[in-house]
Amino acid sequence: MAAAPRPPEKSIALIGMMGAGKSTVGRRLAKRLRLPFVDADEEIEKAAGLSIAEMFERYGEPYFRDGERRVLARLIDGPPRVIATGGGAFIDPETRALMLARCIAVWLDVEVGILAERVGRRDTRPLLKGQDPRERLQALAELRNPVYAEAHIRVRSGDAAHEHTVQKIIAALNGPPADSPA
């Protein structure tokens, strides 16, 4: 393996749909860049003392999004790191503005069929509860993808090994956006 690339001066925020691999890719990317990794959803759960599903159930999505924005602001204020965000974080206009201004936003763009296969393995996603995963993900993608497209970098990811996606992100950080299919 080549020498580790130079870490960026800003945090890297991985964005994209649920099941895109933000946490898995984020851990590997952080290791390659020698940066700390943090999963925003885990930090939100710690701060609230509740699971994300419990927050949605008890207080609704707006309450969750407000907490998410506050936690992400705190994470972004710290030293550079790789941050795996929740699928809806970038959709919130205030959160998106914060990430675009103070991070390198990287969209992990994955086809709906692959996402449905991945998220169908667990029944813990509040936005999928009681719904057909493929149909719901398709509807979410239609709404979210135009917003995700505002990210600084877009990396198309598929069934290839996560390391391939990491390599594409590193190449994009060092040059023009990596938007070729995985």
Question: What tens digit of pLDDT does each residue of 9-57 get?
Answer: 899 999 999 889 999 999 999 999 999 999 999 999 999 899 888 898 8
Rounded distance, CA 75 to CA 81, Å? 8
Q: Is residue 148 part of a domain?
A: yes
Average pLDDT over residues 127-146: 80
Q: Domain residues for 66?
A: 11-173
More confident residue, 31 or 134: 31
CATH number of the domain that residue 17 is part of: 3.40.50.300
pLDDT at 78 over 70: yes
Could you tell me the pTM of the whole model? 0.86
Which letter, b or e, does each residue of 16-55 get, where b requires 16 or more Cβ atoms within 10 Å of its Cβ? bbbbbbbbebbbbbbebbebebbbbbebbbeebebebeeb
Our count of domains for the chain comes to: 1
